[in-house]
Amino acid sequence: MKHKAVRRRSVVMGIGATAGIAAIGGIAVGAQAAGTSSASSSSDGLLFDPDGYTEITTTLTDTDGTDHEVTYHFWKAITYVSKPVDATYQSLIVSVPVTIDGKAVDASDAPIVLSNVIAGYVESSVAEATGIGGAAMGGTPPTGGGGPSSAPPSASASPTPSASAGAPAGGGGAAAMPQMALLAGYVVVEPGARGRTLTDSSGEYYGTAPAAIVDLKAAVRYIRHNRGRIPGDVDRIVSVGVSAGGALSALLGASGDSPLYDEYLKEIGAAHASDAIFATGAWCPITDLEHADGAYEWNWGTNTTQSTGKTVDQTVSKDLRTQFAEYQAALKLRGLNHFGTLTARNYDEYLLKQYLQPSATTYLAGLSDTERETYLAANTFITWKNSKASFTWEDFLTHVGTRKKTAPAFDAFDLSAGENNEFGTGTTKARHFTAYGLKNDITGVTGTRVDSDIPEKLRLMNPMYHLLEKTNPKRTRHWWIRLGTSDTDTSHVISANLAAAANSLGDQVDHRYYWDQGHGANIDLPDFVAWVAGITGHKSALK
């Protein structure tokens, strides 16, 4: 492909840094943003300009601390729908590697990594981005780490020795993913999306559920609509995200081409193309929101709360644990590795055997003898025998220490949780989305049932619906799911259920925990890009 002459500039940044952080509220500069009002012609204006790039040379540092000179083509903010509600957020940026350390890279058929930085279901923008990693989020980004004070920097928590055992604690956060993918020789697309805090001049919320997932689907449709124009293999789109972004990545994978979203996509002028993706990468996904309160209390109900130093109201905690037990029994999910049916009675045993003890084993095996001896001396609850770690569930909870959230964690009685805002509507900032939250409301809200539109919005926002209640044949078949063992932003059950649901359908599931890591950790990115190479058959450019 021939390109017109472009300017060349040099930028130096580390893998944990970002280039061109966007200012929320900026204007998207999208030459491809077509303002057609006709639904039938909406796709015609959404054409990617192959020659509309800037060539950038930069230095990226990998997780081993090695610098690499990378030259890539960068496309500034492109509006990906023909009738945007707000182009500041409904736009994407594209980065395509040209050379890495002087070696030419052919990315014409490389996997396309769709990397979102959504946190807390808050809006994100690429409107002012001037280089890769330039997406800016409106919420507080997950940073990883956050383990107990006795824990030294953690290695990868894979059940088998990992190539990324020397990765820094906490990884590089959400910003590290697009840069690592570019280093691997993959095409990187970073989409912005509307989020729950956006209001217009009349005070109406226009980014609450299901806006974020609708926007991500529209971004995928834009990519696939531009087959042959946009570099990369549009049939090998891999979605990645952390926290709420991980939940949305999982939802994108589970709900591919679901007709439930058609009306919303038509409304914003999404391209007439498939929004099914090839693979999902989800780090610490906060999802299954209507059941998240019960799962949280089952997991963390007896731990003291960070903000108060006290346990939560145990009557509320017990009510929610009972709800979780009923929900889990109804799922009839079987655990991985032939564990059997997962219930509230045996889930602690399952988490220990499948995830927690293998995670601790891998971490300890990666330490030197002296480091291991020091760690075990500080953490006497762990039994180290025959090169394997074992401990009880109760001791694990004590090791983690305080929980982050109060009760209920997600549908707060005072409507203060971010998830209450996620289900706001019109000029109403926050609403209850569970019967229990509504029943115990302390803000003056009346009624015996949640608003009539809530059940549909819950389905639109929950990957479990598309995996279990109405199994979606167009879902992804490849799942990469990660969680820190010290992550108390949600229950460990949430990601484990997601993995079990996908596994029950015969999908390929790689779900593991990072020992002593908190919310937002993504410390095995080299393993992830190698996994992408394996499932797509495209060799990574970085050895």
* Tokens representing residue 265 in the block: 């996509």
* Residue 219 contacts residue 239 (beta carbons within 8 Å): no
Handedness of CA 154, 158, 159, 162 (dihedral sign): negative
Q: What is the 3-state secondary structure (H, E, C) of 278-344?
A: CEEEEECCCCCHHHHHHHHHHHHCCCCECCCCCCCCHHHHHHHHHHHHHHHHHHCCECCCCCCECCC
Rounded to an integer, what distance in angstroms lies between the CA atom of residue 336 and that of residue 114? 28
Q: Taking the model in full, what pTM does it have? A: 0.88
> What's the N-to-C CA distance of the chain in angstroms?
26
Tens-digit pLDDT string for the chain (543 aa)? 333 323 333 333 333 223 332 322 222 333 333 333 333 345 678 999 999 999 999 999 888 889 999 999 999 999 999 999 999 999 999 999 999 999 999 999 999 999 999 999 999 999 999 999 988 766 555 544 444 433 333 333 333 323 222 232 334 455 689 999 999 999 999 999 999 999 999 999 999 999 999 999 999 999 999 999 999 999 999 999 999 999 999 999 999 999 999 999 999 999 999 999 999 999 999 999 999 999 999 999 999 999 999 999 999 999 999 999 999 999 999 999 999 999 999 999 999 999 999 999 999 999 999 999 999 999 999 999 999 999 999 999 999 999 999 999 999 999 999 999 999 999 999 999 999 999 999 999 988 899 999 999 999 999 999 999 999 999 999 999 999 999 999 999 999 999 999 999 999 999 999 999 999 999 999 999 999 999 999 987 765
Q: Give the whole-angstrom CA distance, residue 306 versus residue 124.
A: 28
Strands (E) located in 412-522: 478-484, 508-514
Q: Tally Cβ neighbours within 10 Å of residue 376.
A: 16
Alpha-carbon distance of 172 to 121, in angstroms, equals 20
pLDDT value at residue 447:
87
Beta bridge partners of 282: 241, 481
User: Which tens digits make up the pLDDT trace of 336-363?
Assistant: 999 999 999 999 999 999 999 999 999 9
Q: What is the CA radius of gyration of the chain?
A: 23
Q: What token pair was written down for 76?
A: 């500034």
The H-assigned helical ranges of 135-183 are: 176-183
| CA-based torsion, 427, 429, 433, 437: positive or negative | negative
Give the C-alpha separation, 422 to 432, whole Å: 10
Give the CA distances from residue 445 to residues 143, 237, 315, 432, 458, in Å, rounded to whole numbers and listed in that order.
35, 43, 22, 9, 20
How far, in Å, CA of 507 to CA of 504, rounded? 7
Q: Which amino acid belongs to residue 460?
A: L
Token look-up 């709800």 returns 323
3-state secondary structure of 158: coil
CB 524 within 8 A of CB 482: yes
Note whether 157 and 512 are within 8 A (CB): yes
Residue 331 corresponds to which tokens in the numbers above? 């799922």
In one letter, which amino acid is 274?
S
Per-residue pLDDT, 408: 98
Distances (CA, A) of 227 to 232, 273, 536: 8, 10, 17
pLDDT confidence of residue 542:
63
d(CA 95, CA 217): 19
- Exposed (0-12), middle (13-18) or buried (19+): which is 116, by Cβ within 10 Å? buried
Query: Nearest 10 degrees: CA dihedral of 94, 99, 100, 102?
Result: -160
The rounded distance, in Å, linking the Cα atoms of 162 and 171 is 14
Using DSSP's 3-state secondary structure scheme, residue 536 falls into helix
The answer to whether the beta carbons of residues 399 and 392 sit under 8 Å apart is no
List CB contacts of 201: < 8 A, sequence separation 6 or more: none
Strand partners, 72: 56, 97
Q: How far apart are CA 54 and CA 5, in angstroms?
A: 9
pLDDT number for residue 63:
81
| CB-neighbour burial class of residue 466 (10 A; exposed 0-12, middle 13-18, buried 19+) | buried
Please give the pLDDT value at position 135. 86
- How far apart CA 250 and CA 282 sit, in angstroms, is 6
Distance CA 523, CA 500 (A): 23
d(CA 497, CA 513): 14
What three-state secondary structure class fits 415?
Answer: coil
